Amino acid sequence: MSGLNLDDFATLIERPDSGVRRDAEEHRERLVPAPGALGRLDELGEWLAAAQGAVPVKPVERAKLLLFAGDHGVAELGVSGGPAEGAVALVRAVLAGESAAAVLARRCGAQVRVVDMSVDCDPAELPEEVTRHRVRRGSGRIDVEDALAADEAERAFRAGMAVADEEADSGTDLVVLGDLSVGGTTAAGTLIAALCGTDASVVTGRGGAGIDDLAWMRKCAAIRDGLRRARPVLGDQLELLATAGGADLAAITGFLLQSAVRRLPVILDGVVSAACALVAQRVAFRAPDWWLAGQVSGEPAQAKALDRMALNPLLDHGVCVGEGTGALLALPMVQAAAALAAELPVRP
C-alpha cells in the first residue's frame, strides 16, 4: 500500500530492560516499608526503572499531555454526543485552559500539546503549531467510504512518528496520551471489533459525551457497516487505519510505535488510544510493554482491547469525559511510584 514498512518496528522495538527491572526488584526488597505493602506502586516503580534503564528510578519531571485531534464523517449520523461545532470546540477549550484535562494538567505539572490531524475547520482558526501536521479536514464516513486515502494514511502515520521523535528529543519523560475527536469512538470500536473478531453490539459504548438509546443504535449500525469494510483488510494495518480509522487514529498509532522505539513510556487514556494501541500491537508485539492503561473508561471496546494486550488499568473511577482526563488522574500515581522508589530509605 505504501513505501512505509511497518515490519521494521518489530525489529526496532525492544522490551524495557529486564536486567534493570530485576535490579529494581532487589532494590525494592531492601526498602522501608516491606515489599508488597505499597501494592501497585511497587510494580510501577519497577516498570519505570526498566523503561528508564536506571536504578533507582529517576523522578518523572517532564510529563506531557499529548492530544491528537480530528473530526470523523460518521458523526453526521448522530452517533456522538460531542459539540455541534465539532472537534474544533474541544481544541479551543484545551488551548484556553478551560477543559477538565487542561485543569488537571496544570495541577499535575504536565505541559499540554494538541496536534490537529483532521479537525473540520479552516486551519487559520487555530495556531500554526497545532495545525502544522494536519492531513485533511475531517476523515471519511467509515460506514460507506474509506476514512483516508492511502497516501493520507501514510502521512498521518508518519506525522505521529515525527511527534514521538520531537517529544523524545525535547526531553519529555512520560506522555499522557488522549484524543480530541467527534465520532472517534465509533472508529475505535470498529477497529477493536475487527481485530478482536467480535460483533458490533459487543463493542458499542456511549462515548465520553454520552448518547441516548437511539443514538446507541445508530452507532452500533455504523460500527457494523464499518466492520464489514474493515475485515477484508485486516492483514495490512496501515490499510486498516485508512479504511476504518482516521487521520488522528493513524497518527496515534504511528506515535505509539515510534515512542516505543525511542523508549518513551506512555499512559493510555480511553477507547481511542486503546484501539490504536491494539493496531500497534499487531505491528510489533513488544510495543505494549512501554504503555500503561491509565483508567477504565466504561467503553466495552476499551475493555476488550486492554484485555487482548494484557494491560491492567491503574484506576477505575467512572471518569468517561475523554480528552486524556482519566489518564491524567493516573499521572500522580506514577509520579508517586517514582518518588517512593527513589527516596525511601533502605532497611537497617
Determine whether 61 is exposed, middle or buried from the number of CB atoms within 10 Å of its CB (0-12, 13-18, 19+).
exposed
| Residue 248 CB partners (closer than 8 Å, separation 6+) | 68, 69, 70, 117, 118, 139, 156, 179, 181, 184, 272
DSSP conformation class of 59: P
82 vs 62: CA distance, rounded Å: 31
Catalytic residue among 46, 85, 323, 343: 323
Alpha carbon 326 to its chain centroid, in Å, reads 12
- Tell the burial category of 217 from Cβ atoms under 10 Å away from its Cβ (0-12, 13-18, 19+): middle
Asked if 194 and 187 count as a contact pair (C-beta separation under 8 A), the reply is no
Q: Which three cell numbers stand for residue 331?
A: 499521572
CA 230/CA 241 separation, integer angstroms? 9
Q: Which long-range contacts (CB under 8 A, 24 or more apart) does 37-43 make?
A: 38/337, 38/340, 40/314, 40/333, 40/337, 41/333, 41/336, 41/337, 41/340, 42/337, 42/341
Length of the chain measured in residues: 348
d(CA 131, CA 149): 19
Distance from C-alpha of 296 to C-alpha of 312, rounded to nearest angstrom:
9
b/e map 24-42, b = 16+ CB within 10 Å: bbebbeebeeeeeebeebb
Annotation says 129 is catalytic: no
Burial of 346 (0-12, 13-18, 19+ CB in 10 A): exposed
User: What number of other Cβ atoms are within 10 A of residue 170's Cβ?
Assistant: 11
Other beta carbons within 10 angstroms of residue 225's beta carbon come to: 18
Which are the catalytic amino acids? Answer: 323
